[in-house]
Amino acid sequence: MPITAEALATLIREIEVEDPIDYGDLPYDEDDLRLLVCNHIREIAEQAAQLGEENRMTVLLAVAAKLVLENLVLNVKLMQAQGASLEESSAALLRRLSGKS
């Protein structure tokens, strides 16, 4: 795989300038978390590379879609736990997904 986990983590940091992640009070170092995730994604990409170009792209798109869906579900649960109504949380998530947050 041509990109290292470290280089991928650097790209994530650059993206976070425009779209920051709220790590809150997590008892983990943000850079360690980025690197952990980047290593995992690289492993998935390496395994997918053995499937041929079209199947590799399909696997990577499925992984990305699953992660976005999981993030969406967790955000709805978090907003509801903070007292937001389903309508409020849905509207906020739709704004974010449409890039209007």
By CB atoms closer than 10 A (0-12, 13-18, 19+), residue 42 is middle
The per-residue pLDDT for range 11-65, each reduced to its tens digit, is: 999 999 998 999 989 999 999 999 999 999 999 999 998 998 889 899 999 999 9
Asked whether the beta carbons of 11 and 4 are under 8 A apart, the reply is: no
Q: What is the pLDDT of residue 15?
A: 95
pLDDT-based confidence at 4, cuts 50/70/90?
A: very high
Residue the block writes with tokens 């008892």: 27
Q: What is the dihedral of CA 12, 1, 43, 32, to 10 degrees?
A: -40
Alpha carbon distance 70, 35 (integer Å): 20
The token duo for 42 is 């690289």
Could you state, in order of their start, the residue ranges of all structural domains in the chain?
Answer: 1-50, 61-101
Q: Quote the pTM value.
A: 0.74
CA 77 centroid distance within chain: 17
Residue the block writes with tokens 């890039």: 99
The token duo for 82 is 């903070």
